[in-house]
C-alpha cells in the first residue's frame, strides 16, 4: 500500500477586497501569502471507505464533513468512482494529519488539509495539476491556492489564482484568537455596513515585487476588519496590541487571527518577546514563504 506525505503551509491575506456579491457568493480580490506554519498530510489508498486520524489540533466536526475527507471523496469522484494502481482499483483513503494550523481563524487550516490530500492522491495515482485544480474547485474556494501556495492573487470566490513571483520575505508575529469569526456572518455584516471596494491589491503587489517593505506595509488592508471587530472584540484588542509593539497590524481572512508585519527579523523578534509576555502560546513567530 503506497503512502505519500505532503506538507502544506498556512496562509495569510495581505490584502482582502470585497468587490460585490453574485449568485450567493461574495467576489473578492486578495493578495495571499504562505507562512512557515505547516500541516503534514499522509495519505494511503484503500479499497473502499475513508478514515481520518489527527494529531495536534483536532477539527471539531464530524469526519464525513472534514475537508480532508471531502477532498478524498472528490478526488475519486473525478476519477469516475475509482482509481487504478498496480492493476488494482481503489476508491478510498486512509488519511493522517499532523495538524499545526489553527482552524477557523483565517489561516486556511482546513483548506491546507484538503490540498494536502489532493496532492498526495495525485502523486499516488499519477494525476497532473490541472486534474488537481478541478478537484480543488469542488472542495472549497481557496483550496486551489493552497495547492501551490507562495504569493498569489486570489479572485472570484478565491478559486481563480494568479501566481506572483516575488522574492520578498516578510517577518511576522501571529496572534491567535480563542474565538474564530463566522465567515458568513462577517460577510453579511460587511453588506449591512455597505463596505466598498478598496481596489488596492495591485499597488500592494507592486511594492511586494519591488521589495519595498515599508511601502507595502502602508498598502496592506482587509475590508472585513471593521465587521470582524464588531463580531469579536478580541480582534480589536489584538490589533491594538500588535500596533503597540510597532507592527503593521492586520487580520487574516475573516478573523480572528491577527498578525503583524515588521521591517526586519530583529524588530519582529523584539516585538514577539513583548507579546509573548502578554499572550503566551497564543503568539507565534512566522515568515512568509515566497
pLDDT tens-digit readout, 257-266: 999 999 999 9
Residue 239 is predicted with a pLDDT of 97
Any catalytic annotation for residue 182?
no
Q: What is the DSSP letter of 264?
A: S
Tell which wins on pLDDT, 65 or 226: 226
Catalytic residue of the set 17, 142, 217, 248:
142
**Of 74, 65, 33, the residue nearest 204 (C-alpha):** 33
Task: Tell me, rounded to whole angstroms, the distance of Cα 29 from its chain centroid.
Answer: 14
- Give the N- to C-terminal CA distance of the chain in Å, as an integer: 34
What is the chain's mean pLDDT, rounded?
Answer: 95
Predicted TM-score (pTM) above 0.85: yes
Q: Which of 41-50, 115-124, 171-180, 241-250 has the lowest mean pLDDT?
A: 171-180
Residue 1 is predicted with a pLDDT of 62
Any catalytic annotation for residue 142?
yes
DSSP E strands: which ranges in 4-125? 4-13, 15-22, 25-46, 50-56, 83-85, 88-90, 92-99
Q: What is the DSSP letter of 48?
A: S
Specify whether the CB–CB gap between 177 and 238 falls below 8 A.
Answer: yes
Distances (CA, A) of 288 to 143, 208, 260: 18, 12, 12
Beta bridge partners of 171: 262, 287
Mean pLDDT value across residues 96-118: 93
- Three cell numbers, residue 110: 482546513
**Could you tell me where the DSSP H helices lie in the chain?**
67-78, 109-125, 129-139, 143-148, 183-192, 201-210, 213-219, 225-231, 233-244, 265-279
Q: What is the DSSP letter of 102?
A: P
- Three cell numbers, residue 243: 500596533
Residue 103 is predicted with a pLDDT of 81
Catalytic residue of the set 11, 99, 127, 217:
11
* Model pLDDT for residues 198-247, shown as the tens digit of each residue: 999 999 999 999 999 999 999 999 999 999 999 999 999 999 999 999 99
Q: Which of 1-5, 39-43, 45-49, 283-287 has the lowest mean pLDDT?
A: 1-5
Please check the confidence at residue 58 and state whether its pLDDT lies above 80: no
Amino acid at each position: 500500500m503506497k503512502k505519500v506525505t505532503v506538507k502544506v503551509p498556512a496562509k495569510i491575506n495581505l490584502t482582502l477586497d470585497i468587490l460585490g456579491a453574485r449568485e450567493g457568493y461574495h467576489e473578492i480580490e486578495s493578495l495571499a501569502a504562505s507562512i512557515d506554519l505547516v500541516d503534514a498530510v499522509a495519505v494511503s489508498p484503500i479499497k473502499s471507505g475513508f478514515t481520518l486520524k489527527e494529531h495536534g489540533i483536532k477539527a471539531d466536526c464530524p469526519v464525513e464533513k472534514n475537508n480532508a475527507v471531502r477532498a478524498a471523496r472528490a478526488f475519486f469522484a473525478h476519477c469516475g468512482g475509482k482509481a487504478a494502481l498496480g492493476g488494482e482499483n481503489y476508491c478510498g483513503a486512509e488519511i493522517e494529519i499532523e495538524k499545526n494550523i489553527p482552524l477557523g481563524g483565517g489561516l486556511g487550516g482546513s483548506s491546507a488539509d484538503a490540498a494536502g490530500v489532493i496532492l498526495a492522491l495525485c502523486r499516488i495515482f499519477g494525476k497532473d495539476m490541472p486534474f488537481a485544480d478541478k478537484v480543488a474547485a469542488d472542495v472549497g474556494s481557496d483550496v486551489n491556492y493552497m495547492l501551490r501556495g507562495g504569493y498569489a492573487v486570489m479572485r472570484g470566490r478565491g478559486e481563480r489564482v494568479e501566481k506572483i513571483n516575488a522574492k520578498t520575505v516578510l517577518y511576522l508575529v501571529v496572534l491567535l484568537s480563542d474565538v474564530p469569526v463566522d465567515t458568513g456572518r462577517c460577510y453579511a455584516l460587511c453588506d449591512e455596513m455597505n463596505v466598498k471596494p478598496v481596489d488596492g491589491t495591485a499597488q500592494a503587489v507592486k511594492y511586494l515585487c519591488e521589495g519595498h517593505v515599508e511601502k507595502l506595509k502602508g498598502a496592506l488592508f482587509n475590508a472585513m476588519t471593521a465587521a470582524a471587530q464588531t463580531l469579536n472584540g478580541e480582534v480589536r484588542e489584538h490589533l491594538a496590541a500588535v500596533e503597540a509593539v510597532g507592527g503593521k497590524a492586520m487580520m487574516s481572512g475573516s478573523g480572528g487571527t491577527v498578525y503583524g508585519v515588521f521591517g526586519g527579523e530583529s524588530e519582529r523578534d523584539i516585538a514577539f518577546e513583548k507579546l509573548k509576555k502578554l499572550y503566551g502560546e497564543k503568539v507565534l513567530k512566522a515568515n512568509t514563504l515566497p
